[in-house]
Amino acid sequence: MPEFDTSHVKNIVLLGHAGSGKTTLAECMLYEAGLINRRGTIADRNTTGDYHELEQERGNSIFSKLLHTKWRGYKINIIDTPGYDDFVGEVISALKVADTGVMLLNAVMGVEVGTDVIWDYTEKFKTPMIFAVNKLDDDNADFDKTVREAKSHFGNNVVVVQYPYQVGSGFHQIIDVLRMIMYKFKDSGGKPEKLPIPDDQKARAEELHKELIEAIASNDESLMETYFDKGELMEDEMKMGMKKAMINHDLFPVFCLSAERNMGSGRLMGFIDNVCPSANEMPSQSTRSGDKLKCDASGPACIFVYKTISEPHVGELSFFKVYSGTIKSGMELENETTGVTEKINQLFLVEGNKRSSVNELVAGDIGATLKLKNTHVNNTLHTRGKNYELTPIEFPSPNMTVAIETLKKGEEEKLSLALHQLREEDATLLVEVSQELKQTLIHCQGDMHLAVAKWKIEHSHKLEVKFVKPKIAYRETIRKMADANYRHKKQSGGAGQFGEVYMRIEPWYEGMPEPKDLNVRGRDVHELDWGGKLVFYNCIVGGAIDTRFLPSILKGVMEKMHNGPLTGSYARDIRVCVYDGKMHPVDSNDISFKIAGLQAFRSAFQQADPQILEPMYRVEVLCPDDLTGAVMGDLQSRRAIVEGIDSEGHFQKVIAKVPLAEMNGYSSSLRSITQGRAKFKMRFQAYEAVPFELQRKLIDDYSKTAKEEYA
């Protein structure tokens, strides 16, 4: 029998901007529950959560960590997450399996950009949320300002359950308006003394108690009636109402903390036990087919893999949540995505970098297993014949791209294996072998994300690599009509080569009229893999060129479209009309007309006012109001067109259209300009013409290295 049943397992995720104190709070919770006998610190590099060598080196969380503790008859699974936006994938995957989020707010900084970014994801998952105002012992702490900002950002459903008697170095007392008592802590923190609320605080406490009751009652008609009848709600009624409102994402209680001094964590843990929902109290999970899966330990077995890590000398460790049934060692489950049957040989509870074996895990619990053959993040495993596939996690698009190369020749295959492993562990890191750019590209969330990838490649895979600026996928097109012809003639004894092609090319656009002065005998529309179209017309009369040679002419044109005349980039949106030519009864063949078609196309292209197009991206930067000018100035130095500024709570969102060629290094630049107080995202918008001077430079640079075809 498992030690805890489903209703006594609580899954929480610690969230917040970098430096808000998540890892320190997790350490307090483990210490308060007696799982560790000494609290580690970030400075001493000995916390249970930040055990990874890289985290200790950098002094901040990079990976989400699964921890667990036992508190008054409940098991609390704790997922500690990083605060930097570069590692948002770790946050999203944790939110997928958590049943309550604890959002830490830094009482000195208030609501920071990272908090807003994370909140968007909690809204998507509809995760029940608690706000914990931390660092109230700092002399610059401002609880009231932090709460005002939280209400401004996240709505009036943010409601105070606790407030500090005083902040700064004198922070020792927390007034609880749910229980209407005051907790007084020793300098060393830990278990507080329970005292009556001081006389000078009774009026404020009563007012906040009334606000809390009204917030709870407004979300429950029966409690509203009770409140109207009695003018009060009992503590148990308030807890019941809070749980229901939290599940519906209608109420967000605020608690007080000094995680550094271990003040307030015990009360927070008690609230998690008594009020926060367990998995079987949350709405049933949706499957891709639209069915609902109830969290029931006696139901069919079903787990969801939310995270994978690779451990040296061991292999892949898969983290999962049990959404239904009871999972036992030796059980065989079917992977809905791959169709592979996986045997669960071992089950583990995880405590940072430590694992302890268990025989079974019930619905609602979170654990890990080793060496699944063909199972990845976002895969659902279930009892055979059930065909469950839980809704997968949607990870954000990358914000940054670099090219990667090995320093030593001949290690490309090793690099490929290393990148594959990185991709298995991190769904927000994408790897692309670009045939167009002839580079291996890494698409990631930012420079910190990239630095972690490089560290793993060098330390785990023993490879020396370098990052280089990625080439830009330009496009080429034309702006006016041009005619050209080319005769290919080659005689080398015996049968020679002969083909002559007359061709007109024009800029193609949707709905353009048919050629008026040419006799159209055939038309093919080719959707190009890289975007745009090539429209190819047969306008030959009198049999000047046999129709069997037209595919060869098209092949020559398409070859040059693949390797545009200006910079070797893909060409697009062109109409080609072949209207005349000559052939030889003996020497004409496919290769002759392919070469003639290619050279005629190139010649016409150069006369048709050719234009290089560059990829433009929509960039949105979220920053504090006082940094808006600096952000805009930096964007404008990158040839950006600022299209607007919107307000989002206390932040400004600068919206700009920026050439991709100018976005190299932007993540580092933005972090430097704003001291890490801004975030950005970008997505492809369109191809647009490059400025004349840049076009001339690109053509000149290409002409120095280009090779003449069929010279």
Burial tier of 511 (Cβ tally within 10 Å: 0-12, 13-18, 19+): exposed
**Distances 239 to 159, 178, 179, 316 between C-alpha atoms, Å:** 14, 9, 10, 41
Q: Which one is the CATH code of 6-281: 3.40.50.300, 3.30.1330.10, 3.40.50.1580, 3.40.50.970? A: 3.40.50.300
pLDDT of residue 530: 94
Domain 614-690: which CATH class?
alpha beta
Distance CA 645, CA 196 (A): 50
At 98, is the pLDDT very low, low, confident or very high (cuts 50, 70, 90)? very high
Burial tier of 10 (Cβ tally within 10 Å: 0-12, 13-18, 19+): buried
CA proximity to 575, closest of 688, 481, 486, 689? 481
293: left (phi over 0), alpha (psi -120 to 50) or beta: beta
User: Which tokens sit at 169?
Assistant: 């170095």
342 pLDDT above the threshold of 70: yes
CA proximity to 363, closest of 281, 425, 430, 287? 281
**Distances 277 to 9, 129, 239, 246, 374 between C-alpha atoms, Å:** 9, 11, 11, 8, 33
Residue-wise pLDDT for 231-268, tens only, equals: 888 989 999 999 999 999 999 999 999 999 999 999 99
CA angle 495, 501, 504 (to 5 degrees): 170
Q: Do domains 285-382 and 400-468 have the same CATH topology?
A: no
Please, are residues 580 and 502 in contact by the beta-carbon 8 Å criterion? Answer: yes
Is it true that domain 400-468 has CATH number 3.40.640.10?
no
pTM: 0.86
CATH number of 285-382: 2.40.30.10
CA proximity to 446, closest of 508, 405, 396? 396
Across the range 295-323, mean pLDDT stands at 91
What are the residues facing 401 on neighbouring strands?
A: 443
pLDDT of residue 387: 86
As its CATH architecture, domain 476-608 has 2-Layer Sandwich (3.30)
Residue-wise pLDDT for 166-179, tens only, equals: 999 999 999 999 99
pLDDT of residue 711: 39
Please, are residues 137 and 260 in contact by the beta-carbon 8 Å criterion? Answer: yes
State the chain's mean pLDDT as an integer: 92
Query: DSSP letter string over 474-539?
Result: -EEEESS-EEEEEEEEE-SSSS-EEEEEEEEEEE--TTPPPPSSS---EEEEEE-TTSSEEEEEE-
User: Which tokens sit at 90?
Assistant: 């770790």
Across the range 136-148, mean pLDDT stands at 97
Report the amino acid identity of residue 280.
N
At 710, is the pLDDT very low, low, confident or very high (cuts 50, 70, 90)? very low
Distance CA 347, CA 432 (A): 35
Q: Is 101 helix (H, G, I), strand (E, B) or coil?
A: strand
Side-chain-side CA neighbours of residue 298 (13 Å)? 0
User: Which tokens sit at 654?
Assistant: 């600068």
Q: Which helix (H) or strand (E) holds 424?
A: helix 412-425
Q: Which helix (H) or strand (E) holds 701?
A: helix 692-703
Name the least confident of 360-369, 667-676, 701-710.
701-710
675 pLDDT above the threshold of 50: yes
Residue-wise pLDDT for 207-220, tens only, equals: 999 999 999 998 88
- Please state the domain extents for the chain: 6-281, 285-382, 400-468, 476-608, 614-690
